[in-house]
Structure 1
Amino acid sequence: MPTLPWSVPNSPPQDTEVHVFASRFETRTLWGALRFLARTPAVWRQVAHAPGAYGASLRAQPLRRVFWTLSVWESAEALKAFAHSGAHRPTSRHLASQMHDVAFATWQTSSDRLPVSWEEAMQRLT
């Protein structure tokens, strides 16, 4: 699966502070990676309609069992509301036992600096 390109569900106001979230997931098995891939479309559709979502992208190396997400939100509260609703909530619970290694990073940036680069996200995840 190639990188899903940067998608902008809602345009942020200019020159405002936004909340960035990056994640890295490694599954225990190839079967876990396939389960992650199978559930990705529903979560991706949820992002497209999520209140406060200002951008998102996904990188996947399923044969290596590694996935990265990068998203930008109006606030930490908007991200939390997304994570605890819709397809994301049951997906994250269902896949939790499949995860081997997980890393998260959050930071603030200006909406004028969007989209956030994958290079910056990778640095912050290490």
Structure 2
Amino acid sequence: MPTLPWMTVGTPTRPEVQCMASRLEVDSLLSAPGFLIASLALWWQARRSPGALGVALKAEMLKGTFWTYSAWEDKAAIYAYARSEPHKSTVERKRKVMRDATFVFFNAPVDELPLSWTEIRRRIAEQRGSAQPDHKSAQ
């Protein structure tokens, strides 16, 4: 299972930061390698984006499931990253091979970073449990 562990890329200026976690599932295992390559490019981009504080990626290739976790100065920094290239066009392209996507936004104290993958999975499962039957989300 390819995992890029938490990498701190910035220094927080506040005691609490904005976090984003996602669970992304492709429609076929044939889509997984290309999705991994795209995910690595976006992980690389996030590391260098203004306001990014830390990033992590976990790929469960045989399940076709990808997990991301990042911390940012604020939501504005997350949205600026999401609107920038190559993220914007990559998401548009990869949406065609997605079966499901769940995104969770939350605040976390700086001294608790990084959260464990167990905690990230719990937060995403909680979000998925409270979502409508079709919780496919676009960003």
TM-score (norm 2): 0.84
Gap runs ≥5 in structure 1? none
Q: Secondary structure at 1:63's aligned position in 2?
A: coil
Q: Which is further off, 19-28 or 41-50?
A: 41-50
**AA partner of residue 7 (structure 1):** M
Aligned partners of 1:7, 1:86: CA distance in 2, in Å? 21
Amino acid at match of 1:61: E
CA–CA separation in structure 2 for the residues paired with 1:20 and 1:4: 17
Q: Could you say what secondary structure the match of 1:92 adopts?
A: helix
Q: 4+ residue runs of structure 1 moved beyond 6 angstroms? A: none
CA contact (8 A) 1:23 1:103 kept: yes
| Cross-structure match for 1:38 | 37
Q: What is the match of residue 121 of structure 2?
A: 122
Q: Offset at 1:41?
A: 2.8
CA contact 1:32–1:95 (8 Å) conserved in 2: no
Kindly provide the CA deviation profile for residues 84-125 of structure 1, in whole angstroms up to 9, marking residues without a partner as x. 102211111110011101111111111121112211111010
Query: Across the two proteins, how many residue pairs are aligned to each other?
Result: 125
Q: Is the 8 A contact 1:103 1:125 kept in 2?
A: yes
Which position in structure 1 is the counterpart of 2:15? Answer: 16
CA contact 1:9–1:47 (8 Å) conserved in 2:
no
Q: CA RMSD in A?
A: 1.3
1:111 aligns with 2:79: no
Partner of 2:47: 48
- Confirm whether residue 102 of structure 1 aligns to residue 104 of structure 2: no
8 Å CA contact 1:25, 1:66 repeated in 2: yes
Percent identity, aligned pairs only, is: 39
Higher relative CO (CA 8 A, sep ≥ 6), structure 1 or 2? 1
1:25 matches 2:24:
yes
